[in-house]
A and B are shown apart, each in its own frame.
Chain A
C-alpha cells in the first residue's frame, strides 16, 4: 500500500476518536449514498416508463419507412418494394397510404369526428379498422361494431358527386398512448386506396423487422440500394420528437437530483478541510521526513476518493436494490383501468448506474482538490513551530 493511501485510510478510521470530524465524515458518506441512490431510483423510474414507450414505438411504428426524397409519390414503387423485400429480417412490408376523413357511427347518431386514416406495415384485415379509445368513446362504439369513414374525395353518381365512404368493422379498440396522433384510424391497404383515390403506387413503403434494433443497419443497406432519390427513416427517426422529449426529461431529472450529490460534495470539502487544519502538524512532520507537497496533496485526494468510494458503493447498493425490489414486488400499484400499467415500472440500466457512480466519484474527488491543494501549500516549518 502506498504511503499516502496508508495515511489517508488511518485518518479515516481513527477519526472516530474525534467526534466532530467523524460526524462530518459520516454525513459526507451518507449524503453521497443518498444522492446516488436517489439518482438511480429516479432514473430507474423514468427508464421503466420510457422502456415501455420505446417498446410501444417498436410495436406500433414501422421500423423502416422509404419515401421519395422529393415529391409526394414514389417514382418506382416496385423497385422500393423489391429493395425492402430482399432485405434480411423484414417480416412485414406494405405501401403507406394515408389521408383525412370524417368518422361516424353506423347510424350517424353521434357527431362525426375528424380522423387521420392510414395503412402501414402493421396489417389490418380487409373491411375492418383499428381505432383508439378516445375516438371509440366519442362515437360510442365498441369492438365488433361498425364505423363509417367519409373522405373528402368524391365520386360521380347519378345525383352528382358524392364523397367516398367506407363502412368498416372495428376490429380493435386500443388504449391511446403518447405515440398516437389524435383520432388515428388504421385501415387495410384496400380501404386506404379507396378513400384516398390512390389506385396504384404509394407515397411511401413501410417495413417491419424481426429485430427493430437492427433498423439503422437495415436503413443504410436500403439507402445504398436505392440511391439518393429516396429517403429512408428508422422507427427512431420517425419518433424523433418523442425520443428527444424522453431524453430531455431524463437529463433534467438527472441534473435536478444530482444537486443532492453536489450538496454531499460540500460536506466532503468541509470534512477534508477540517482534517487538514487538525493535521497541520502532521503535514509539517511528513515534510520534515521528506514528503513532497504533491505527496501531501495525494493524502487528502485519497481521503476524498475513499469517502467517495464508500458513499457511492453504499448508494449503488441501496439504489439498485430498492429499484429491483420496487419492480420485482410491484410495490407502487397503479389503477389499471386508468393507466395502461398495473404498477409503476422500474428498470435499472447498468450503463446509467455506471455513469451515476462515475459522476459521484468524480464529484467527491473534485471536492477534495481544494483542501488538498491547501495542504500542499502549507508552510511546514510554521506548522511545526506553532504546534508546540
Chain B
C-alpha cells in the first residue's frame, strides 16, 4: 500500500473484498485489499493472471461493487452514491479502455466515440462534432465512418481510447490495452496513451503484462494474492 503524499488522492480504496458467485463454488478474488494513487500519476499494475487486476479496475471505476470495503475517487465515495449518481460520476470523471476494445459493431467509429457525450445528454450533432475532433487528434479522422469490424486491432484500440476520453475524464482506467496487439501496435497505442495523459493532465492506471511498457510508467504496482504494493525495482521481463 502506498502512503498518501500531500497531493490529492485520485484513488483511495480501503479493505476491498470481492467474491464472484459463479456456477460452482464462490470464488474470492481478493479480500482486505487497499490501494491509493495520487492525482496526475501514470501508473502501471502488473501481476499474474487471476489475482484480480481487472476486478480492481472495475471496482475503482464503479462498474462493479465490492462485498466489503470502500472506494473513493477524487474524494467522492462511490458506495455512498445511488446507481444513477454513480453512472453520472463515471460519465463525467472516468474513462475505461478494455483489452478487447469492446467497440459496438453495429455503430461507426464516430458513433462509438460519441456515446459518452450522448449519454450525458449532449445533442447528437454536437456529440458527433466532438467525436470527429477526437478521432482527428488520434489520427483516425479518415476512418470515422467505418464500422468497428472494418478497423484493424490497433485502430480499434485507438478508437476505444478516443471513446474513453470523450468526456475529458480525470481518471483513465486501461485494462491490458495492448494485450491483444502486436508489438508495433502495442507500442503505438501505449505512446498515444502516454501523450494523451500528458496533454490532459489525467490520472492513468494501466494493467499490463508487458514489463517494457510498465517500465515507462511513473509508478509501478505489483499485484499478487497477498495484495497490491509498489514495485521496488524494474519489473522482470517476461
Contacts and interface: CB of A to CB of B under 8 A. Distances in A.
Interface string A194-224: 0000000000000000000000000000000
Chain A interface, >50% SS class: helix
Nearest to A295: B119
B163 A289 contact: yes
A286 B54 contact: no
Given A385-B54, A388-B99, A284 B107 contact: no
B126 interface: no
A293 B100 CA distance: 23
B118 A290 contact: no
Interface string B107-125: 1000000011011100010
For the complex, would chain B's binding face be called helix, strand, loop or mixed by DSSP majority? helix
A180 to B, nearest CB: 66
A382 interface: yes
Contact of B119 (A290, A380, A382, A388): A290
A286 B115 contact: yes
A381 B167 contact: no
B61 A288 contact: yes
A10 B108 CA distance: 11
Contacts of B96: 288-289
B102 interface: yes
Interface string A109-125: 00000000000000000
User: Size range of the interface on A?
Assistant: 20 to 34
Contacts of B98: 285, 288, 384
Interface string B56-88: 001101011000000000000000000110011
Contacts of A289: 90-91, 96, 115-116, 119, 163
> In this complex, which of B107, B118, B120, B167 has the most chain A Cβ atoms within 10 angstroms of its Cβ?
B118
The interface centre, meaning the residue of A288, A384, A385 with most chain B CB atoms within 10 A of its CB, is: A288
A381 B20 CA distance: 11
Interface in A124-169: none
Contacts of B83: 292-293
Nearest to B99: A388
A92 interface: no
B88 A292 contact: yes
B124 A6 contact: yes
B116 A382 contact: no
Given A6-B118, A384-B63, A290 B124 contact: no
Contacts of B58: 381, 384-385
A325 interface: no
B1 interface: no
A281 B87 contact: no
A294 B55 CA distance: 24
Interface in A1-17: 1, 3, 6, 10-11, 14
Contact of A388 (B20, B55, B61, B100): B100
A286 B106 contact: no
A288 B124 contact: no
B192 interface: no
Contacts of B64: 379-382
Contacts of B92: 290
Contacts of B118: 3, 6
Given A288-B96, A289-B116, A281 B63 contact: no
B99 to A, nearest CB: 7
A72 to B, nearest CB: 73
A282 B148 CA distance: 13
Contacts of A293: 83-84, 87
A289 B115 CA distance: 7
Contact of B87 (A1, A10, A295): A295
A363 to B, nearest CB: 27
B104 interface: yes
A247 B88 CA distance: 53
A293 B83 CA distance: 7
A386 B167 CA distance: 26
Interface string A370-388: 0000000001111011011
9 contacts: A6-B124, A286-B115, A287-B63, A289-B96, A291-B119, A293-B83, A384-B63, A384-B98, A384-B102
Pairs of residues from A and B, 10 with the lowest C-beta to C-beta distance, nearest first: A290-B91, A381-B64, A292-B87, A381-B58, A3-B118, A288-B96, A14-B106, A380-B63, A292-B84, A290-B90
Interface of A: 1, 3, 6, 10-11, 14, 281-282, 284-295, 379-382, 384-385, 387-388
Given A281-B102, A388-B99, 11 more contacts: A284-B63, A286-B119, A288-B90, A289-B96, A293-B83, A294-B84, A295-B87, A381-B55, A381-B63, A384-B58, A385-B58
